[in-house]
């Protein structure tokens, strides 16, 4: 795709794992100027092979050459830096990101229940946007397997919920690359509620042996998950955040008899295996940290969370070994 120079973005991707590679390749293929920051073996793989994507749905394979660097460009100008790392990697990444004086905006696509304060302190409020990468996959050597772009997307938002000119440009760039884009007027709340949804599910997966089909077919654990998610949503609401996205409100009033069959079908699906189970297993350190953030919010609000506590207890013990650790679904691998 040929872009008018005014529409062509200069993009730096920080985090060359599954999602960073996916978005970098698609944006480069749409005609944007993309540079990927990578280190070690991943840097060598990208230099030698480019970004090699294989789609689960079709087994189609694409190869996209990209510019790759092994350190933060300090003075070079970029319209946006996409930050795709685990939450447990963020603290180490922030000082590096702060050195990028030429980056006009940082789009943090990072799971968090704590909010953006650390990001703001590092790079300045005016340069922070928040987003969520609604995709999944795994890495196998230099090959990245992902879901087809039309089935996934991104959710984006300014800190103040404004429909800014830069947000419109970034939205257009992701759409150019074939992704569905949803905009949120409160991405801080959106990300907190996302953690409230996924942390109990992750603990349930650990408790059941990292098998989404087994979880879907275990009615006792499924009911416990639903109660834990409701508790987690209540914890976030207690801190004054409106439920976002609004569809999550269904969990509060839909009876278990209707909700559980819907959830069972979704959890047993291949998409949940790709986008949910593989990430939960590969990034257990991140899921554990996010669960701890929810626990801290519950304590601060003096809220009891018996279902969350029970799932956390059941999830204890050694890391599940039903997936190969070398195959990673996390953003910053």
Q: Is residue 234 pLDDT above 50, yes or no?
A: yes
Higher per-residue pLDDT: 2 or 229:
229
**Model confidence over 55-83: pLDDT tens digits?**
987 889 999 999 999 999 998 999 999 99
27 in Cβ contact with 9 (< 8 Å):
yes
The pTM score is 0.91
Write out the DSSP string of 80-101. EEEE---HHHHHHHHHHHHT-T
**Residue 318, pLDDT above cutoff 80:** no
**3-class secondary-structure state, position 108:** strand
Considering only CA atoms, which of 7, 9, 13 is closest in space to residue 106? Answer: 13
Q: What is the pLDDT at residue 282? A: 83
Question: pLDDT value at position 237?
Answer: 96
Check residue 41 and give its pLDDT. 95
pLDDT of residue 281: 83
Least confident of 197-206, 283-292, 315-324: 315-324
Give Cα 42 to chain centroid, integer Å.
20
Distance CA 216, CA 88 (A): 29
Residue 266 and residue 275: Cα distance in Å, rounded?
A: 12
282-304 pLDDT, tens digit per residue, is 889 999 999 999 999 999 999 99
Ordered by where they begin, the domains of the chain are 10-185 (3.40.50.720), 190-314 (1.10.1040)
Using a pLDDT cut of 90, give the percent of the chain over it.
74
Residue 7: what pLDDT?
82
State mean pLDDT over 195-223.
Answer: 93
Q: Is the pLDDT score of 319 beyond 50? A: no
224-230: average pLDDT: 94
| pLDDT tens digits, one per residue of 244-296 | 988 888 887 888 888 899 889 989 888 788 777 888 888 899 999 999 999 99
Residue 317's pLDDT band, with cuts at 50, 70 and 90, is very low
For residue 149, the model assigns a pLDDT of 65
pLDDT of residue 332: 41
Sign (positive or negative) of CA dihedral 103, 107, 113, 117? positive
**Nearest residue to 7 via CA among 37, 30, 23, 39:** 30
CA distances from 139 to 88, 120, 123, 244, 273 (A): 19, 31, 30, 31, 15
- Rounded Cα distance between 178 and 210, Å, is 31
pLDDT at 321: 37
63-67, 90-94, 150-154, 164-168: range with lowest mean pLDDT:
150-154
pLDDT at 193: 97
pLDDT at 330 over 90: no
Q: How confident is the model at residue 327 (pLDDT cuts 50, 70, 90)?
A: very low
**CB–CB of 174/146 below 8 Å?**
no
Given this model, what pLDDT does residue 326 score?
31
- The pLDDT assigned to 325 comes to 37
Max mean pLDDT range (46-60, 82-96, 142-156): 82-96
Mean pLDDT, rounded, of the chain: 90
Evaluate whether 131 touches 158 at the Cβ level (below 8 Å): no
Q: Is the peptide bond before 245 cis (omega within 30 degrees of 0)?
A: yes
């Amino acid at each position: 795709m040929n872009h008018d120079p005014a529409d062509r973005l200069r993009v730096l991707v920080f985090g060359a794992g599954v999602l960073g590679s996916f978005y970098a390749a698609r944006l480069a293929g749409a005609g944007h100027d993309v540079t990927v920051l990578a280190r070690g073996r991943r840097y060598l793989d990208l230099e030698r092979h480019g970004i090699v994507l294989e789609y689960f749905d079709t087994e189609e394979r694409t190869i996209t050459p990209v510019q790759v660097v092994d350190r933060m460009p300090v003075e070079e100008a970029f319209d946006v830096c996409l930050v795709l790392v685990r939450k447990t990697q963020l603290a180490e990444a922030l000082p590096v990101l702060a050195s990028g004086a030429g980056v006009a905006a940082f789009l943090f696509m990072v799971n968090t229940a704590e909010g953006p304060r650390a990001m703001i302190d590092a790079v300045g409020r005016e340069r922070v946007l928040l987003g969520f990468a609604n995709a999944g996959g795994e890495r196998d050597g230099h090959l990245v397997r992902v879901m087809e772009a039309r089935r996934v997307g991104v959710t984006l938002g300014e800190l103040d919920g404004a429909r800014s000119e830069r947000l419109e440009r970034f939205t257009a760039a992701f759409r150019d690359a074939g992704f569905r884009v949803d905009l949120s007027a409160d991405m801080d709340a959106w990300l907190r509620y996302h953690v409230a949804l996924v942390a109990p599910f992750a603990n349930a997966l650990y408790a059941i042996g990292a098998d989404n089909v087994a979880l879907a077919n275990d009615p006792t654990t499924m009911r416990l998950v639903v109660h834990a998610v409701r508790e987690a949503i209540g914890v976030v609401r207690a801190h004054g955040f409106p439920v976002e996205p609004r569809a999550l409100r269904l969990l509060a009033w839909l009876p278990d008899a209707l909700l559980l069959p819907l959830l069972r079908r979704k959890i047993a699906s291949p998409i949940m295996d790709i986008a949910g189970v593989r990430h939960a297993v590969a990034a257990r350190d991140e899921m554990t940290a996010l669960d701890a953030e929810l626990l801290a919010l519950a304590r601060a609000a003096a809220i009891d969370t018996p279902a969350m506590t029970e799932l956390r207890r059941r999830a204890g013990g050694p890391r599940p070994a039903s997936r190969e650790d070398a195959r990673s679904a996390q953003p910053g691998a």
